[in-house]
Structure 1
Amino acid sequence: MDPYKAAELFTMNHYPNCQGALLAGSVVRGEATETSDLDIVIFDKNLKTAYRESVIEYGWNIEVFVHNLTSYKEFFKSDCERARPSLPKMVSEGIVLKDIGIIELIKQEAKELLEKGPEEWSTDTIKLKRYFITDALDDFIGCTNRAEEIFIANTLAELVSEFVLRTNRQWIGASKWVIRSLRNYDEEFACHFVEAFDTFYKTGDKNMIILMVDEILQPFGGRLFQGFSLGK
């Protein structure tokens, strides 16, 4: 079934008294694959607590995020504090399935948060992140066990992508959203990032990753080990 029609029927059958509903996710962005699901956000003033549920209906895997008219604000806040604005992004990009006059204001809230960006990292936070990246990089350089190298590289990719994005006050992501977030920030850097790690995974050559990490850390003082202290 057409995704919009399926989402509309699902909303009508399961949340007939809701005040608003949105269809979001990959189908809205034109990025759907064979395994994509429907992300539906529901706003129901009679709901006491927010919840999330996964079901299969109309030939679709459906993830529904259900909120009352205040609970979504706490999720907006917590998402932004961790710099992964999942719900604001869904609301901002969502296509209206139902609206009795509330969606425009909630969408505006979401858009303002997204445009503002995450809070700036403190000097202490940057130092801490530099230390953890340095630690992972040293492990990566010195490791000679192929199996261990792979997983150290995974950790390094996550730490470095977070560092680049947060020091530039950009939103971060997990899984496929790591590279999507990097592309949203800087397409050229994202390509370089992928190339460095892809080269290592294919050939075992670490040089591109090492050079890239050092270039990223250099404006903030480079690698950090000597003199680092935590909780002293």
Structure 2
Amino acid sequence: MEDDKKLEPVKAAELFINKYFPQCQGALLAGSVVRGESTETSDLDLVVFDQKFSSSYRESFLVYGWQIEVFVHNQSSYKSYFLSDYERARPSMPQMVVEGTILKDNGMITAIKEEARRLLETGPKEWSAETVVQKRYFLTDSLDDFIGCNNRAEGIFIAATLAELVSEFVLRVNKQWVGNSKWVVRSLKAYDAEFTRDFVIAFDEYYKTSEKLKVVHLVDRVLEPYGGRLFEGFSNGKE
């Protein structure tokens, strides 16, 4: 059956839009296939703008030989996602829109792409001085757990938390977008390739050998310009 045969990405996406959203006002193909980073397990990410829907939703399909994730919006619902991404500093929706290949456009896509591009260039909401202090404390707390941990099983997951906190801190104090999962490294690399190399080496060494020193030095290096580790005197919520 045609629906089972794996087609070329753009062809599959076009057929999908014509079949499932024939009346939509606009559609984009985004994700790894557009960036040239697809793997055997990559799916197709589609962003659809269809005014007949009163609210946004997400749905998954298996068709044309592809796993397809479709993100459906009307001509205004996407704005709340742009705002949410700005607040949480993870630009999932704007990134998809900016990088997306246009599949269908009834005259609205250019303006939405420009809106997304401006948001990406502006960067995320800046951390307040109070937030920087709080993040220093939580990063210090996680580092202390890491240093003091003698249980390998627990250490693996403390290190994972520490890595995420370090990457978030580095990016956010420099007003950069953050990511999770594979986007932790991608976001860091987009900001500072040399630091990213040191970051990966430090945690890779810990996971391979249980040696913690490089991770500890890395965290201290990150915290030092902002006052270093923080414990004594920290308070949160006290009236």
TM-score, normalised with respect to structure 1: 0.99
Q: Unaligned 5+ residue runs, structure 1?
A: none
1:168 aligns with 2:168: no
| Structure 1 residue aligned with 2:121 | 115
Looking at structure 1, the residues matched to 175 and 22 of structure 2 have their Cα atoms a distance apart, in angstroms, of 40
Looking at structure 2, the residues matched to 88 and 120 of structure 1 have their Cα atoms a distance apart, in angstroms, of 18
Moved over 6 A (4+): none
- Aligned partner of 2:223 among 211, 217, 221: 217
Q: CA deviation at 1:45?
A: 1.3
Looking at structure 1, the residues matched to 88 and 53 of structure 2 have their Cα atoms a distance apart, in angstroms, of 26
| Structure 2 residue aligned with 1:188 | 194
Looking at structure 2, the residues matched to 215 and 75 of structure 1 have their Cα atoms a distance apart, in angstroms, of 34
TM-score, normalised with respect to structure 2: 0.96
| Structure 2 residue aligned with 1:228 | 234
1:73 aligns with 2:89: no
Looking at structure 2, the residues matched to 174 and 163 of structure 1 have their Cα atoms a distance apart, in angstroms, of 13
1:32 aligns with 2:38: yes
Q: CA deviation at 1:28?
A: 0.0
Q: CA deviation at 1:71?
A: 0.1
- Aligned partner of 2:55 among 14, 36, 49: 49
String of CA shifts for 1:179-201, please: whole Å, max 9, x gaps: 00000101111111000000000
| Structure 2 residue aligned with 1:89 | 95
Q: CA deviation at 1:57?
A: 0.3
Q: CA deviation at 1:160?
A: 0.5
Looking at structure 1, the residues matched to 94 and 217 of structure 2 have their Cα atoms a distance apart, in angstroms, of 35
- Aligned partner of 1:17 among 10, 23, 26: 23
Q: Which amino acid aligns with 1:101?
A: G
Q: CA deviation at 1:107?
A: 0.1
Q: Give the secondary-structure state (helix, strand or coil) at the position aligned to 2:28.
A: strand
CA RMSD of aligned residues (A): 0.5
Q: Give the secondary-structure state (helix, strand or coil) at the position aligned to 1:96.
A: strand
1:144 aligns with 2:150: yes
Looking at structure 2, the residues matched to 91 and 98 of structure 1 have their Cα atoms a distance apart, in angstroms, of 13
Looking at structure 2, the residues matched to 150 and 46 of structure 1 have their Cα atoms a distance apart, in angstroms, of 48
Looking at structure 1, the residues matched to 35 and 225 of structure 2 have their Cα atoms a distance apart, in angstroms, of 35
Between the two proteins, the alignment pairs up a number of residues equal to 232
Q: Which amino acid aligns with 1:231?
A: G
Give me the identity figure in percent: 66
String of CA shifts for 1:204-227, please: whole Å, max 9, x gaps: 110000001001000000000000
Q: CA deviation at 1:47?
A: 1.2
Looking at structure 2, the residues matched to 143 and 66 of structure 1 have their Cα atoms a distance apart, in angstroms, of 45
Q: CA deviation at 1:11?
A: 0.3
Looking at structure 1, the residues matched to 125 and 90 of structure 2 have their Cα atoms a distance apart, in angstroms, of 12
Looking at structure 2, the residues matched to 15 and 148 of structure 1 have their Cα atoms a distance apart, in angstroms, of 48
Looking at structure 2, the residues matched to 21 and 70 of structure 1 have their Cα atoms a distance apart, in angstroms, of 14
Q: CA deviation at 1:146?
A: 0.7
String of CA shifts for 1:99-139, please: whole Å, max 9, x gaps: 01110000000000000001111110000000000001011
| Structure 1 residue aligned with 2:130 | 124
Q: CA deviation at 1:80?
A: 1.1
Q: Which amino acid aligns with 1:210?
A: V
Looking at structure 2, the residues matched to 45 and 58 of structure 1 have their Cα atoms a distance apart, in angstroms, of 26
